[in-house]
Amino acid sequence: MIQAIDIDSRVRRQHWIQLIVFISIVVLGLTSLFVINNLLLSFVVALVCTYIVSPAVSYLESAGLSRLAVILIVYVLFSTCAGLAIWAISPFFIDQFQSLKQSLPSYVDGAVKLADRLTQTLNANDSGLFHVNLSEQLRTLLTSQSTKLVEGLPSFLSSSASVLVLSPLLGFFMLKDGRQISRELLRIVPNNIFELILSLQSQISDQIAHFIRARLLESVIVGAVVLIGLWTIGFPFAILLAAFAAITNLIPYIGPLVGAAPAALIVVVNSGIGLKLLFVLLVYVVAQLIDVFFIIPLVVARVVNLHPISVILVVILGAEVMGVLGMIISIPVAAALKVTLVNIYKHLTDYTV
């Protein structure tokens, strides 16, 4: 009897040690993502790339090729296609960026003149009670911000070099050793929660994979629609504005508004409120209608089962904690947390019963 109690005590102690080690490894990994500079962004980019190419890797591996050879083949093909795409598109981006840089002073002057007209209207209607002068403050603000934007972009790109180096490296090891690392971590998990952790790992991985692919497809389609629409009406900086719309579309709710703002401001500053503004807004409205009525119901809707209020709250929280990156990753993080809490609750209630 005493021997049985001793064995049971040792088993419980071993389970607690395994659980503490497992939790410590997870906490250490998450802490490293936030503490080490650019590691979180590199990890997110690597995760996105991994989920994009993993179906091709799995398909080729099932054909009998070794996983390392498959990963190298996919990496070479993916890098070649990405390099060719960048080589083909970069001249257009560079030309439009240089044109935007040269046109910024005229846009600043146009915005100031618009503010002057608004100031005159306000001062004319307030019967002399208040004196509003928006032009000088706006000129100072726009000049400083536009200068920072144009001159800070090269330094931003150079500072992101570590991300460009780390992301492919992390992605390579995720593809090559990801399953082995998962198995080693699962070996540490105590037997009494092994099925729970295994189920969580599978559900979260599948959910994040489907979410990433769906959101990327959604953004690409929205960007393509905006590009075609702006190019059709002969709008300047169509490629830059379409790329900006595609990126900001990753941000829920406010992303489409942010993506349309630069084009609308350019039209208002240059031409005022008129037919051209209507055409530009129509392009973005059509893109969002396609997104809302076709892409989201068919591709995105069932991927993440979160209430709209919950989405708004987690996006706001993500913005407060990590800015734009936090807004983008807040939904999959919240969805993974929801899956975790639901499964833990079920495990505890079933275990209690």
Query: Distance from first CA to last CA of the chain, Å, rounded?
Result: 27
Percent helix / strand / coil, the chain, rounded to 5: 90, 0, 10
Whether 5 shows a pLDDT value over 60: the answer reads no
Query: For residue 348, what are the CA distances in angstroms to 18, 158, 341, 352?
Result: 19, 49, 10, 6
Spatial separation of the C-alpha atoms in residues 241 and 178, rounded to whole Å: 37
149 or 48, greater pLDDT: 48
- State pLDDT tens for residues 166-216: 788 888 888 888 888 888 887 887 777 778 888 888 888 887 887 888 888
Whether 67 shows a pLDDT value over 80: the answer reads yes
Whether 18 shows a pLDDT value over 70: the answer reads yes
**Tokens, residue 93:** 């981006």
Spatial separation of the C-alpha atoms in residues 233 and 221, rounded to whole Å: 19
**Tokens, residue 309:** 């209020």
- Average pLDDT along the chain: 76
- State pLDDT tens for residues 217-261: 888 899 999 999 989 988 888 888 898 889 888 877 778 888 888
- State pLDDT tens for residues 73-102: 888 887 788 778 778 777 777 777 777 777
How confident is the model at residue 224, as a pLDDT?
Answer: 92
pTM score, two decimals? Answer: 0.70
Distance of CA 288 to the CA centre of its chain: 18
How confident is the model at residue 148, as a pLDDT?
Answer: 56
Tell me what the mean pLDDT of segment 24-51 comes to.
79
H-type helices in the chain, by residue range?
2-35, 39-62, 67-125, 135-159, 161-188, 194-232, 238-248, 255-271, 275-290, 308-352
Residue 126, phi then psi, degrees to nearest 5? -100, 10
Spatial separation of the C-alpha atoms in residues 139 and 111, rounded to whole Å: 8
pLDDT confidence band for 129 (50 / 70 / 90): very low
Spatial separation of the C-alpha atoms in residues 91 and 64, rounded to whole Å: 41
What are the residue ranges spanned by the domains of the chain? 189-353
How confident is the model at residue 77, as a pLDDT?
Answer: 84
| Farthest-apart Cα atoms in the chain, separation | 96
- State pLDDT tens for residues 263-304: 888 887 777 677 888 888 899 999 888 887 777 666 655 566
